[in-house]
Amino acid sequence: MNINGVFIEDTFAEAFPMRATRVIITGINYKWARHAAETMTGFATSVIGCKVEAGIERELGNHETPDGRPGIAVLLFATDRKTLEAQLQARIGQCVLTCPTTAVFAGLEGEGQIALGKNLRYFGDGYQTSKQVDNHRYWRIPVMDGEFLCEETTGYQTAIGGGNLLVFARSLSQVLLACEAAIDAMSMLPNIILPFPGGGVRSGSKVGSKYKTLNASTNHPYCPTLKGLPDNVLDKNVEAVMEIVIDGLNVEDLTLAMRRGIEAICDLGKAQGIEKITGGNYGGKLGPHHFHLREIMGGDKT
């Protein structure tokens, strides 16, 4: 399959089940809500090293937040419920509770509930009070700018992590331009995040290493400086490869995000130096979710 001269490889991106939650952070204005959201989603690129993958989903208008203030929706993904809960509490405690004027609310009904303010309330040292409004329990913790308001629990659900695209281009600037276009298009969509810095990944990894202590190492077949070596798969004219990793709440959202991403890249086309798009997989051994690129783009999978 070729779209605007860009070769879409007949392969699939392999993704795996995760547990996800959404929280809504509000503040006196977007500036402070965003400070909290950016801080709590920092160091959350990959579950391998960070335990959790997190990102800002979108900005919320005053009419969309429980307390009628500007807000930010944040999604967090982890491999299991327990880790998700632990990471959520640690990040809310250190990054949102501490951030002036903010409050935090549940953003998902979900399959079950995990603690949000349930344990954080003890920071109140006995001066915390709860208020039940419309079957939701909130905690009010006295802090130096007034009260930190947080909902007791938030919902979590089964989700999908590790959806991906690999983009091959004739130069670094061209692959960056293409990925930025794809990231911009995908960032408009709800229910997904791109957890890596700016949405792009340059250090794609393979499973295993020659060093026994490492369980992942650089994806050397895709490194352009190693072109010509036996394992390297890059053509002569490819000078840079970039990956975009996508986590989503369900298959439909992730599929749509990948489609929008591929469309944005292909709009630039071969004329802008884009050679190929492929997907990262481990032969189907890593996870049950296989996103066939050609099927996503309306072709047949093989």
Partner 1 sequence: MSATTLEYKGSDQYRVDMRWLQRALEQDLSSKEASKSPLQLGSEQVQVGDIFTINGKLSVSELTLQNSASTLDYVGTGLASGRALFVEGDCGHYLGHQLGGGRLVCNGSALHYAGCNMQSGSIEIMSDAGDYVGGSVPGNKRGMAGGRLLIHGNSGDFTGDLMRRGLLMVAGNIGNHCANRMIAGTITSMGSVGENAGNGMRRGTLLCPSKPASLATGFNDCGRHSLGFLTLLMRDIRKPESAFQALHPMRRRVQRYLGDASVDGQGEILIWIG
Nearest distance in Å: CB 155, partner 1: 18
Crossing angle of helices 172-187/251-268, nearest 10°? 140
* Whether 285 contacts 18, CB under 8 Å: no
Nearest distance in Å: CB 25, partner 1: 12
Q: Which is nearer to partner 1, 27 or 162 (CB)?
A: 27
Nearest distance in Å: CB 96, partner 1: 13
Cα separation of 9 and 222, whole Å? 15
Q: Which is nearer to partner 1, 131 or 301 (CB)?
A: 131
Rg (CA), the chain: 21
Q: Which is nearer to partner 1, 138 or 222 (CB)?
A: 138
Q: Which residues here bind partner 1, judged by CB under 8 A?
A: 66-69, 103, 127, 129-134, 136, 138, 140, 146-147, 149
Q: Which is nearer to partner 1, 82 or 131 (CB)?
A: 131
Say which amino acid occupies 105: F
Q: Which is nearer to partner 1, 112 or 146 (CB)?
A: 146
Q: Which is nearer to partner 1, 10 or 147 (CB)?
A: 147
Cα separation of 117 and 103, whole Å? 10
DSSP single-letter state for residue 121: G
Nearest distance in Å: CB 68, partner 1: 5
Nearest distance in Å: CB 103, partner 1: 5
Cα separation of 11 and 4, whole Å? 19
155 by Cβ neighbours in 10 Å (0-12 / 13-18 / 19+) ranks as: middle
Q: Is the dihedral of CA 128, 129, 131, 135 positive or negative?
A: positive
> How far is Cα of residue 168 from the mean position of the Cα atoms in its chain?
22
Nearest distance in Å: CB 72, partner 1: 16
Cα separation of 50 and 87, whole Å? 9
